[in-house]
Each structure stands twice: as structure tokens, then as C-alpha cells.
Amino acid sequence: MDRRIIYLVFFILVVIAHLITLPTRVTPSTVTKRLYEMVESLPADKAVLVDSDWGAGIKAESEGQMRALLHHAMRRGLKIVILSWTHNLEGQKFGYDVTADVAKDYGYRYGEDWCVLAPLTKASGQELAGLAKDIHGTLSEDTNGVPLDDAERLPMMQHIRTIHDIGLVFQVAYGHEGTAWLGFIQGVYGTNVATAVSAISSSTAYSYVESGQFCGMLAGAPGAAEYEELLGLPKESRFARKPVSVLSLAIGYILLMIVIGNAAYWGSTWGTKR
């Protein structure tokens, strides 16, 4: 069979799955529950630092993950600081847009409850070491060019100066960039670090959760859907639900193709062997 027919059927299935409502049952995994419990137990005076290191290429998974955690942090009334990188300005833009969007639901105000820092330049982890000791010294302004010391426009940042003011570092990225946080922040200061990675990278990230270095993890779009389930978000706020329901159908189709392909292969070699 021409493989393009398989692709075409697959594409049509994905389109149809978007137009109909499929039954979806999501059961939260242990790693997702751990993250949920960690955010739930954070002291009210501690902030959440979200490392927004994602872009258009992995938007499908990362956006849902970031939205889910922001919902939880904002529901708890925690201050949110978004960190981005000079090598990935998409992360800055997406981080800003997503946080601004979720903030509308909770009445969060920029500068008072959340802010986006100016992008940081990667320097083999040295930048994280500097950030831990002095946030205002390492990054002197926010993304709009407002000095972090400006008490009028960024009042929340007057109370967030070192890593000790951060209760949780939540890194959203395609892969294992989060491990730099383990080496230079979690390993040194014992700060809680959690990660949200693509499903493709989650296999290797599990060992860091198992060892207790990551306090929790959201693995791909299913991880985001599990977190939304734990939060009990209303249907219209569940960003990851639809992709996961479509994913179930797509995986079912691929499994069917694997079975048919193998059966056809065995069938074609059966006579030869005999």
C-alpha cells in the first residue's frame, strides 16, 4: 500500500476528531500529582519562577503545560515571575501572552502580581548562579525596560530579590534544559525545581523525578491534561483536553496500522519459510 494513503487517512482522522467530541478520561500520574501537591503546599509569600524556554515548535505541548500551572499558582494567589532567554525570544513572547491571558481570569495585574523579566543570556549555568544570589543585579529590568528596583511600577519585585524568595522554579521547555536548574539551583540551594517537557524528552527526565531532584513533572500534553484534571478546571479553560482526546484516536489508528503491517508481513513470509 502507498504510505501516502496511510498519511492521508491519519490526517483525515485527526481533522474529524477535532469536529466531534470524543470521550476522554484522564487519570493523573504520580509525577503530575507530586507537582500539584508541591504547588499546593507552597507558602503564600513565596513566588513561582516560570522559566519559559519554549517556542512555536513545541507550542502544542508546552502551552497547555504552562497554562495549567499558571491556573494553579494564580488560584493560590502566588506571585509569578516569568524568565526568558536571549537565545529564545519566542519563549518570552509566548510566556508573556499566555500569562496575560490566564491572568485575566484571576484579576492578576502586571507588576503587582506577575511580571516578565528581561531575557537572560545563557552562560554554562553561571547566569543561574548569579540569578540565585541577586536577581536585580543579574537582570536589572523587566521585558518592558522598567528597572526591577522601580517600586511604583514593579512593586512585587521589591520582595523578590534572591532565590530564597522563590518557592518553585517551573521550567517549560522542549527538552532537558531544566537540568541546569538542578546543578546550579536545586543542588546548591535546595530550591524546588519542577519541569514540563515534551513527551519525547520525558523518558529521560523521569530519573530526575525518581531521585527527588525534580519535585514533579508534566510529561507532554497528557501531563498538562492530567494537571487540568487535578485542578478541576471548567471545560472552556481546559487547553490540553482536546489534543489528548485527538491523540487517543491517532494512537489507536497507529496501533491498528502496526498490527495490520505485522500481520501482512508474517502473511507474506509464511509461505517462504515453509
Partner 1 sequence: MNARRAILVGILVLVAVGIATLVLLERFPQYDPRRVQPESMKPLDRVGAWVGALCVIAIFSFIYRENPFYRTFEHILLGVSIGFGTALIIRQVLYEQWWEPMRLGIEAIVYGRSSPEHIWDACLIFSGFFGLLWYFQYSKKYLWLSRITIGVTAGAAAGLGIKRVILQDVPQITSTFKNIMIHPGLAPHLNEAARWAASAKSFLFLIIVCCVLYYFFFSFRRDTPLAKAPADMGRFFLMISFGAFFGNTFMTRVVILIDRVQFLLHDWLRVIHTW
Going residue by residue from 203 to 242, which x/- string records binding to partner 1, judged by CB under 8 A?
Answer: x---xx-xxxx-----xxxx-------------x--x-xx
Instruction: Compute the least distance from the CB of residue 45 to partner 1, in Å.
Output: 27
Is 117 near partner 1 (CB under 8 A)? Answer: no
Going residue by residue from 56 to 85, which x/- string records binding to partner 1, judged by CB under 8 A?
Answer: -xxxxx------------------------
Q: Stretches 53-61, 67-75, 105-113, 153-161: which one binds partner 1 (CB under 8 A)?
A: 53-61
- In the list 9, 100, 199, 263, the residue contacting partner 1 (rule: CB under 8 A) is 199
Is 89 near partner 1 (CB under 8 A)? Answer: yes
Reported as half-sphere exposure (CB side, CA atoms, 13 A), residue 54 has a value of 33
Of 134-163, binders to partner 1 (CB under 8 A) are none
- In the list 22, 146, 180, 257, the residue contacting partner 1 (rule: CB under 8 A) is 180
- In the list 124, 270, 271, 272, the residue contacting partner 1 (rule: CB under 8 A) is 124
> Are 198 and 60 within 8 A, CB to CB?
no
How many angstroms separate the CA atoms of 35 and 171, rounded?
Answer: 12
Is 86 near partner 1 (CB under 8 A)? Answer: yes
Instruction: Compute the least distance from the CB of residue 209 to partner 1, in Å.
Output: 10
Is 37 near partner 1 (CB under 8 A)? Answer: no
Is 243 near partner 1 (CB under 8 A)? Answer: yes
* 3-state secondary structure labels for all residues of the chain: CCHHHHHHHHHHHHHHHHHCCCCCCCCCCHHHHHHHHHHHCCCCCCEEEEEEECCHHHHHHHHHHHHHHHHHHHHCCCCEEEECECCEHHHHHHHHHHHHHHHHHHCCCECCCEEEECCECCCCCHHHHHHHHCHHHHCCEECCCCECCCCCCCHHHHCCCCHHHEEEEEEEECCHHHHHHHHHHHHHHCCEEEEEECHHHHHHHHHHHHCCCEEEEEEHHHHHHHHHHHHCCCHHHCCCHHHHHHHHHHHHHHHHHHHHHHHHHHHHHHHHHC
For partner 1, give the closer residue by CB, 78 or 215: 215
Point out which residues bind partner 1 (CB under 8 A).
4, 7, 11, 14-15, 18-19, 57-61, 86-87, 89, 119, 121, 124-126, 179-180, 182-184, 186-188, 198-203, 207-208, 210-213, 219-222, 236, 239, 241-243, 246-247, 250-251, 254
